[in-house]
Amino acid sequence: MENQGLSLFELIFKGGVIMIPIGLLSILSIYFIIERFVYINNAFKLENNFMANMKDLLGKGDIKAAKAYCQRINTPISRVIEKGINRIGKPIKDIESAMESSAGLEMDKLEKNMSFLGLTAGIAPMLGFIGTISGIIKIFYDIAQSNNISIDVIAGGLYVKMITSGAGLIVGVLAYTGYHLLNSRIDRFNHKMQATAVDFIDILES
């Protein structure tokens, strides 16, 4: 009789109960990776002539228009610059401190749910190994009870239990990759935000 291959759904089903939390982690990881990527990508959006326009408005002394311009752009960088505009007239140190606090809050927003991806990268493979180990224990327990140590009995149960390890590793790699790719984007954005803040201070001091 010809052997028929198992479908992906059948393999997942054979993985047992431990596949449920692994499946949930995979769904949440994919959701957070996409959601964070879109949010971070939108944070990068800033008019090419933003600082040139800001320099022009502040050069004219039109603080109200400069603030309105930042509010219209409404990106993390423009919100940080707006915080600096609100402190114009105070010492530069106070302006820098206010902008640093605002930048910290914006970074917290960017890093939202990133810890979940980092945690999943470590937990998912461990869940998979737990599923495999518990399955192997059951296999050898059944062998001990039946006194049947044929290779067919061992291999037939073992390949099923290895499914959880494979699934856990796949989810772990997905979360790990997403975590580090997103973190690299966040670092790039942080550098851009700091450079823009320095340009703003230079405008005030010029």
Residue 165 confidence (pLDDT): 87
48 in the same domain as 26 = no
103 in the same domain as 144 = no
- Give the integer Cα–Cα distance in Å for 174 and 178: 6
Tell me if the pTM is above 0.75: yes
Q: Can you give the pLDDT of all 206 residues of the chain as single tens digits? A: 344 555 656 666 666 788 889 999 999 999 999 999 999 999 888 888 899 999 899 888 889 999 999 999 889 999 999 999 999 889 999 999 999 999 999 999 999 889 999 999 999 999 988 888 877 777 777 677 766 666 665 655 666 678 888 889 999 999 999 999 999 999 999 999 999 999 999 988 87
Structural domains counted in the chain? 2
Residue 2 confidence (pLDDT): 42
139 in the same domain as 98 = no
Domain residues for the domain of 156 are: 8-41+113-185
- Give the integer Cα–Cα distance in Å for 78 and 189: 13
20 in the same domain as 73 = no
Burial (CB count <10 Å: 0-12, 13-18, 19+), residue 45: exposed
Residue 13 confidence (pLDDT): 67
77 in the same domain as 158 = no
178 in the same domain as 132 = yes
The candidate with the shortest Cα–Cα distance to 166, out of 18, 31, 30, is 18
- Give the integer Cα–Cα distance in Å for 14 and 163: 8
Say if 192 falls within a structural domain: no
154 in the same domain as 95 = no
171 in the same domain as 122 = yes
Say if 3 falls within a structural domain: no
Phi/psi of residue 4, nearest 5 degrees: -105, 135
Residue 8 confidence (pLDDT): 58
Residue 9 confidence (pLDDT): 64
- What's the alpha-carbon Rg for the chain, to the nearest Å? 27
173 in the same domain as 151 = yes
Say if 1 falls within a structural domain: no
82 in the same domain as 31 = no
155 in the same domain as 128 = yes
